[in-house]
Structure 1
Amino acid sequence: DAFGNLIRERRGRDQQLVTEYRYDCQHRLIGLTRADGQTATYQYDAFGRRIRKTVDGQTTEFFWQGDHLVAESSKTHHRSYVYEPGTFRPLALLDGKGPKKACPFYYQLDHLGTPQELTDYSGEIVWSAQYDAYGKVSAITLAGEDYLDQPLRFQGQYFDAESGLHYNRHRYYDPRLGRYLTPDPIKLAGGLNQYQYVPNPTGWVDPLGLNSNCPPPNRPGCTVPGASDGAKVDEEEPELPKPKLSAREAAKKEVERLNDSQGMHMVGKHGPELPNEKFKKRAIDGTDPITGQPRRGRNAGVGNPSSRFYSWEIMLEAYVLATTRVERGLPRFTGQDSQGANVVKMRLPNAGEGYKPNRRDKENPRLITNMGGFEMKFDPITNLPFTLYPTE
């Protein structure tokens, strides 16, 4: 179609065997019709994970833990899957539901993490398979009449018998052709060939259907040509890699944004990075920490109480507490100051520290630690906050 999704496949003599595929607005396969008239439909959750498939009226439901398929259930069977920690390598299959009925079987894998054999508790092989290089099963051996067929293939792939395709989390993979039905959701971040499975299927895997890696993950020398490690799905354009911010950095960035967008002076006068010299000097002679100008008029040379928050995280917490009172069923303000400005005064243990002017010894203002509250003041005209500082 116009988006590059495969919508019709012709096979057989004179290409008379036609399979048709249908997709939703997010390019996820939602149905197919085979040449023999058999139909299948697929449904997904809000995270794009397949949670249900119906084949000729028979429905199978799927259960997930993150990106891992952990169980499937229908009227005739229930299976659970266990994986090696932190990987997509299957460890065991539990056939049956409940602690008394579930029977364990164990996966024997190759170097790629692809199931080669399934053994029971006694070590007897109950299922084994041979594959070609791109994952198409060339032979399956089943033990006994009550055989157990298992659908896991390459890491992160689930075999659909009705189509011969492998469901690969974000896309469907055709092992007969060694390609996907739809372009890579991460666009060119996954490489120039947007339908390619991996550069080399004998040493690479793609558990999510996005971008490939070679086991063990991140082994030296295992880089994908033209790809972006860790890229994620974006239906529009892939985002550029962004460095992760620490909690402190994220809080600082948000406080500074709030300060600048509302014309506040809480960062310049009460931020945790206020230099000690400016912090103390304000309490000595009233010098403004932002402008460096001393107090004028009748208060010239008189110290002004000075305070700063202990951390950016605490400062952001105080801001949120002061500005979300209505949402929490509280009055928006707790009172007014002497100038008629609305204020919010609240308790917050260990919010910060401050200096108080010392009349007896001007050069040595009194240090107050572990201040237990904060105050936010609002502009009388706009009712927007203009300052926030710790209080005793």
Structure 2
Amino acid sequence: MNGHGDVVGLVDDAGEVLNSYTYDIWGGPLTREETVPNVLRYAGEYWDDTVGLQYLRARWYDPGMARFIGEDTYEGELNDPLSLNLYSYVHNNPLKYVDPSGESKRPANNAHLGLESGSGSSRGGRTVPGGSMGGGGGRGGSSPSSKPSKPSKPSSSSNVTSPKSTNVRPEAAVNGTKKHGVKWKEGPARAKSTGKPQGQWDKYDIDYAAKMANTLKPGESNFFDLPKFSKSVVHMPDGSIVRATKMWLRNNGTGTWHGYPMP
């Protein structure tokens, strides 16, 4: 890891370089060379290559927008204007802070030490001089005191349709007590009576589902894979509960989306 806590390389027992990574200041991938699978990237957190988003437990983070794709549950403080933006990432200061929970910023691991010594792309999984902040340099690096006025869009950070998005929201049932909803209690009984699996959302998957729903045209529907760490479940007719691995989504064309998890 570098001074910011980013995974910049992996080495084997003999010290041979297996993987190397560089990022822009917001965590968007700039370069990637891999010989073995690895999902831990910027700030040491889980990265989903399929959608170009980072999983930060309470919410998903999009480094291409330098924003979370869902609102913070904490509404902020009036005497701290930066805390009032419910989508901002680490108060727009990614050089100094990280947010492993998706709910609050905290100082990055040895952030200042890494910046002062100049950490670039990895060699043997260790930081080496020759850049600023994980390979930023000419592609978005800056001094510790700078505060970017707007997010930079990395050229290769995401293969998902970008943010016309936040227009399509989950319909009310998704977060409520009705069929497939987060608080739905009749799932097991319905699965048994109908003889069909019944998916139920977990609240931490809603933001990700909304991101995918916003890639659909009005009236269009499609199937998507759920992230590896999804907590949505499927109630089976035999009474068992299994982890959902896929989801079906439809853009209702009314500003909302409908959908359910699947096994």
Please confirm whether the aligned pair reaches a TM-score higher than 0.5, indicating the same fold. no
> Which has the bigger relative contact order, CA under 8 A and spacing at least 6?
2
More helix by share: 2
Calculate the TM-score normalised by the size of structure 2. Answer: 0.38
Please state which structure has a larger fraction of its residues in strand: 1
- What is the TM-score with the length of structure 1 in the denominator? 0.26
